[in-house]
Amino acid sequence: MMSPHTTATVSPRVHPFGVRPFGERLEEALDRRGPLCVGIDPHPQLLRSWGLPLDERGLLEFGRRVIDAAAGRVAVIKPQVAFFEQYGPGGLESLAEIISLARASELLVIADAKRGDIGTTMAGYADAWLGADAPWPADALTVSPYLGFGALQPAVETAQARGAGLFVLALTSNPEGAQVQLAETQAGGRVAEEIVRAAATALPSATGALGSVGLVVGATTAALAAEHGIDLTVGRVPLLAPGFGAQGASSQDLRQGFGPASRQVLVNSSRQILQVGPEVTELSEAIESTRRDLASFR
């Protein structure tokens, strides 16, 4: 009997936009544009400093300017969903428009929503962001595995069916994360180690490219992987690394922290770039400066 979240009527290699698996598309985009991912984080302080209203109009204009600056310069943008949700339906409508603009500009979109639940609820989250009729059709979604990695299976199935991707929280940059992520399991390893292994086998590439289920590993915490014997190269999973720039991590920290997994890393920068706005020219210059800073990393 088919489970409620099964998408058996859809070919597992077909995406609603007629493209290949996320990991393959991501690797090609990284080879072409480099490892920088630009965050779209329109928190109220930034909206005010940019002279924009704290409503859906301000959100949309904020996103437009970031996309104008990022298009043709980077591979990926990452909207932080919370900053849109807080404005209600209008904010989410602005997010949908920003995703549409990003797609038209040939940018991959990671929706940073950190969803995590069980059963049909998890399937609902996956359909909202990755499904064939998703109102916010992202290329990938951040998810939380702390109800057990197996609880993410509906999202894995949707990602496989739609050619989309997931980024699973593994070694996050917040200090509190260590109490869960580095906790010892019954088998004697670390929670993060089990998450890495599960991600590596979830949606591996059939061509040797990056897999379509990746991990969130903070730029400031990546060194913990080697310290605790966690192999980030297993399965060639993509690694989304927040914490670069204004949050403290340098290019040298990235090289030392990720080591042999460096070719898998997508480096997110938000505050360091966004704080130079509101003009597109200045945002573009900040993106180019960050790209140069990362040129020797990958």
Give the residue numbers marked as catalytic: 114
Q: Helix, strand, or coil here: 238?
A: coil
Backbone angles phi, psi at 239, to 5 degrees: -120, 115
Which residue has 């929503």 as its token pair?
113
Q: Cα torsion for 6, 10, 13, 19, to the nearest 10°?
A: -120
- What gap in Å lies between CA 191 and CA 101, rounded to an integer? 38
Q: Cα torsion for 84, 254, 279, 63, to the nearest 10°?
A: -20
Which neighbouring-strand residues pair with 138? Answer: none
- Going by the DSSP 8-state scheme, the letter that residue 152 receives in this structure is G
Q: Are strands 108-115 and 213-217 parallel, antiparallel or unpaired?
A: unpaired
- Going by the DSSP 8-state scheme, the letter that residue 217 receives in this structure is E
Q: Are 73 and 291 in contact, with CB atoms under 8 Å apart?
A: yes
Q: Is 4 exposed, middle or buried (0-12, 13-18, 19+ CB in 10 A)?
A: exposed
Nearest in space to 176 (alpha carbons), one of 212, 221, 135 = 221
Q: Are strands 165-171 and 213-217 parallel, antiparallel or unpaired?
A: parallel
- What gap in Å lies between CA 61 and CA 66, rounded to an integer? 9
Which residue has 């069980």 as its token pair?
118
Q: Are 207 and 24 in contact, with CB atoms under 8 Å apart?
A: yes
Tokens representing residue 124 in the block: 């609902």
